[in-house]
Amino acid sequence: MAQTKRIDPGARNLNELSKPTERLHVAGAGDDYNEQEAEQTKAAISSVYDMIAATWNLGDLWNWGFHDAKLEAQVEEILPGFTSFGSDGFSELLYFHTLTQIPLGLDAYRDKRVLEVGCGIGAGLNFLSRVTGAAQLSGVDISKAAIARANGRYSRGEQLTYTVGDAENLPFEDGAFDVVVNVESSHSYPSLGRFFDEVARVLKPGGYLSLVDALTDHRADTFAKAMPGCPRLEWLAENDISPQVKAAVRKRMAPDSFVRRTFAQQRMSPVKRTIAQHGLLTALGAPFTGDASMSPVAKWSRKKTGLGVSDKAPVRSYRHYLATRVS
């Protein structure tokens, strides 16, 4: 597997690091990416997530979240008190929704192998291991720092492991997995077509891909063009889950929320706090719900934190996709 050359995080700020990725969202790039451009994008992404993995301290905030009272009750029955310590539960519910869209009962995972592509710091896959008891769960991510943190906190022998790797060149054997999940990660892949081909390769015939992500208009168009290009994947469902995601985002933005209270405890100067607060609200999904400030200070802050693309190419929908590997 070719190794992506990282960019020294100390040499460039987040605004500069985000520039190579903007074409994915602003220009609707897909398989027209050339190899050099794709590698630059991956290097920038890996560097950004190396920085995040090394510093992230906002508890179980791994994605924009999902809010549904009935789904929360299901998880509470399996893991009583799962939101009682260091989590608001919304990130877990997005993972649980992604999993339960697959037509397999939770008991069926006892002899299954599950792969998460884009596992980040590993908490989501660890959560899935607790609700399924799957025989083996593997996570892969392009960020070395994220994988080191994941293995340091969650790995458990052969049952739960994390590996550095590229979503477009997965370091696994053909037909190795029964299920692939992908949570809020595919928007950063230069080639969705290559990703879909790799998923099809590592899935067993009859295996499933369950994917959720935030989509700009251009990225949605890229999805629509890439999906028919992988004949070994049959697409079974596509659903807009924007209402449930927006509900979670708004709950997290509330002044007394777990995330806002945790952020308030961080020590920083007034200027850094202003920048960080606008960056945090953007990372939580405020532009998606229409609750992000459009003041010059807010826009400047988003740019400084590398999130200015949300002003250039806003997310229009949050969608779930389900596919199966055909022989």
Residues 210 and 257 in one domain: no
Residues 106 and 71 in one domain: yes
Residues 257 and 124 in one domain: no
- Domain presence at residue 227: yes
Residues 147 and 275 in one domain: no
Residue type, 71: L
Residues 150 and 292 in one domain: no
Q: Residue 194 pLDDT more than 50?
A: yes
The more confidently predicted of residues 44 and 299 is 299
Residues 54 and 102 in one domain: yes
How far is 312 from 121, CA to CA, in rounded Å? Answer: 28
Residues 269 and 121 in one domain: no
Band of residue 283 on the pLDDT scale cut at 50, 70, 90: confident
Q: How do residues 10-41 score in pLDDT, each as one tens digit?
A: 434 656 656 666 777 776 545 566 777 788 77
- Domain presence at residue 18: no
The more confidently predicted of residues 194 and 52 is 194
Residues 104 and 228 in one domain: yes
Question: Where residue 141 sits, what CATH number does that domain have?
Answer: 3.40.50.150
Residues 195 and 282 in one domain: no
How far is 96 from 175, CA to CA, in rounded Å? Answer: 24
How far is 318 from 242, CA to CA, in rounded Å? Answer: 5
- Nearest Cα to 23, choosing from 36, 11, 10? 36
Number of domain units in the chain? 2
Q: 255: domain range? A: 247-305
Residues 186 and 320 in one domain: yes
Structure tokens at 78: 């399996």
Residues 86 and 158 in one domain: yes
Q: How do residues 202-240 score in pLDDT, each as one tens digit?
A: 999 999 999 999 999 888 999 999 999 999 999 999 999
Mean pLDDT in the chain?
A: 88
- Domain presence at residue 29: no
- Domain presence at residue 44: yes
Query: Edge-to-edge strands of the sheet including 160-164?
Result: 160-164, 136-141, 113-117, 177-183, 203-216, 315-325, 233-240
Structure tokens at 211: 């994917």
Give the single-character DSSP code of 30. Answer: -
Band of residue 8 on the pLDDT scale cut at 50, 70, 90: very low
Give me the mean pLDDT over the 140-156 stretch. 94
Q: How do residues 66-90 score in pLDDT, each as one tens digit?
A: 999 999 999 999 999 988 877 889 9
- Domain presence at residue 12: no
- Domain presence at residue 207: yes
User: Cβ distance 191 to 168 under 8 Å?
Assistant: yes
- Domain presence at residue 197: yes
User: Cβ distance 26 to 19 under 8 Å?
Assistant: no
List helix spans (H) across 154-295. Answer: 192-202, 217-226, 242-253, 258-264, 270-284, 286-289
- Domain presence at residue 195: yes
Residues 165 and 288 in one domain: no
Q: Residue 293 pLDDT more than 50?
A: yes
